Amino acid sequence: MALFTAIRPVLWTESIDETITFYTMILGFTLVGKNDDWGWASLRKDEVEIMISQNAYEKLNGIGFTGSFYFNVDHVDELWEDLKAKTKVCYEIETFEWEMREFGVYDNNGYILQFGQSVDNIGKTE
């Protein structure tokens, strides 16, 4: 049986450069690789990797992804304070009945990015 070791979403974008700027300047990702001939780039922050692409087979009729990307983070309140004025907010920070404190924003492409922290981990030192 195959062992799954990671998932790296590939996000379609109309502008690789604008998307690189959003993820590096707003969210603090690092550009790992870029190939203009392929219309592709790879970004990383901590243990999270994403790729962005302009490949024709990834865009059929606009953005086709209907879900969201959920990031488990530490210090969710600090991140909220940093991002709420820099991004378009989807929903404000809140503690939910499922014991997660979270919020959501949109990236420059319209993808929903959610950030959450277990209430059990809030206030604990690392």
Q: What are the pLDDT digits (tens) for 59-117?
A: 556 556 678 999 999 999 999 999 999 999 999 999 999 999 999 999 999 999 999 99
Q: Which residues pair with 114 in a beta bridge?
A: 70, 104
Predicted model pTM: 0.87
Domain with 21, as residue range(s), is 8-55
Domain stop point among 55, 75, 90: 55
What distance in Å separates the CA atoms of residue 106 and residue 90, rounded to the nearest whole number?
A: 6
The residue-averaged pLDDT of 34-47 equals 95
Q: How far apart are the first and last CA of the chain?
A: 36
What distance in Å separates the CA atoms of residue 24 and residue 86, rounded to the nearest whole number?
A: 13
pLDDT bracket for residue 4 (50, 70, 90): confident
| Residue 71 shares a structural domain with residue 51 | no
| Residue 12 shares a structural domain with residue 36 | yes
Q: What 3-state DSSP class applies to 58?
A: helix
Domain count, the chain: 2
76 falls within a domain? yes
CB neighbour burial string for 20-59, b if at least 16 within 10 angstroms, e if fewer: bebbeebbebeeeeeeeeebbbbbbeeebebebbbeeeee
pLDDT, residue 3, reads 86
90 falls within a domain? yes
